[in-house]
Amino acid sequence: MRWKRGHRLKLISDSEASGRTLEIFREVRESLGTPAVPMLYRAYAICPKFLDIHWQAFRPAVQSRQFFVLGERLTAECYTRAHNYFEVPGLCACGSADAAGLSISQVLDYYQYLDPLLLLIAAAQMRAFEEPVGTGTATPEAARHPEFSKAPPLVCDENARPELHRSWQERRQVLELAFISDEHRALSCWPDFYVQYWAGLKELLQSPIYADCQYRVADSALDMADELPVVAGTTVSQLLDAGLTDQQVSSVVRVNEDFIQALTGLVLDITFAKIGLEHGVSAESAPRKPVEDSEGQTAGSPMRAA
């Protein structure tokens, strides 16, 4: 999200949700197999009418096996790109389990599973603002996916060390984000690990290689929207006909665009940490130039793909 000093992303928490929003939150958790409502849906809930329309259109796709297969493909692509193009230092999993009894590896598994799915939803929703997405030709198969019983604990602002705050704010400014992600708050439960992780990631964030990978991951997610097994339509005209105001539509479109920008970075950040725990990738084996497109030009930001 485009970062401005003093600007914060508005979210609806479980405790603030009621009625239909609370029901959708429960269905989202059950559909994804996660104990916590992802930030994407907590942001959608700022406009309850949009959340309801979106979920009615997307629930059949999200509850299908094909949706999770697409998520696995996106995960694999992120891993391949990071492994082939990033220089990743070996990271030491310092310390014991966190307050919920989870290890660093388990936290990374959680987000490496969840974030590509959220990116796919946000990308498909972006396409759906213009026209319905999905094939509608395949019969949705019942989903089979992991079930997570514990959500990673998050370090709140009050409990964060000064060096963590500096790292969070640096990342926000470099990537122009309006929030500190749950992923980075979760990894900060191991501050010694996070400091070495951030030291390796910081330089990469400002490189054309990272921006290129963001662009291409976003492009893949947008293309995968066409492979959803059901047709999901939430066009701007449909939203206006349903009673949303012009301002509400503009707001949800902007939030959705911003989440694509944020999630393309997060899937790469988590993959970077995962590879780091697997002993990393040396400078000799990682190319130090961005991938070029078919015309020999470096790709732009992920928002240009969107």
3-class DSSP state for residue 64?
strand
Q: CA 286, CA 90: separation in Å to the nearest integer?
A: 14
pLDDT tens digits, one per residue of 10-46: 899 989 999 999 999 999 999 999 999 999 999 999 9
The number of helices, as runs of H, and strands, as runs of E, in the chain is 12, 0
pLDDT tens digits, one per residue of 203-247: 899 899 999 999 999 999 999 999 999 999 899 999 999 999 999
The answer to whether the predicted template modeling score (pTM) of the entire model surpasses 0.75 is: yes
**pLDDT at position 297 over 80:** no
**pLDDT at position 292 over 80:** no
Who's near 223: CB < 8 A, 6+ residues apart? none
Beta bridge mates, 88: 281
Burial of 71 (0-12, 13-18, 19+ CB in 10 A): buried
Cα-only R_g, the chain: 19
pLDDT tens digits, one per residue of 55-83: 999 999 999 999 999 999 999 999 999 99
3-class DSSP state for residue 298?
strand
- Choose among 175, 268, 274: nearest CA to 220: 268
Q: Which of 181-191 are b and which e, b meaning 16 or more Cβ less than 10 Å from the residue's Cβ?
A: bbbbbbbbbbb
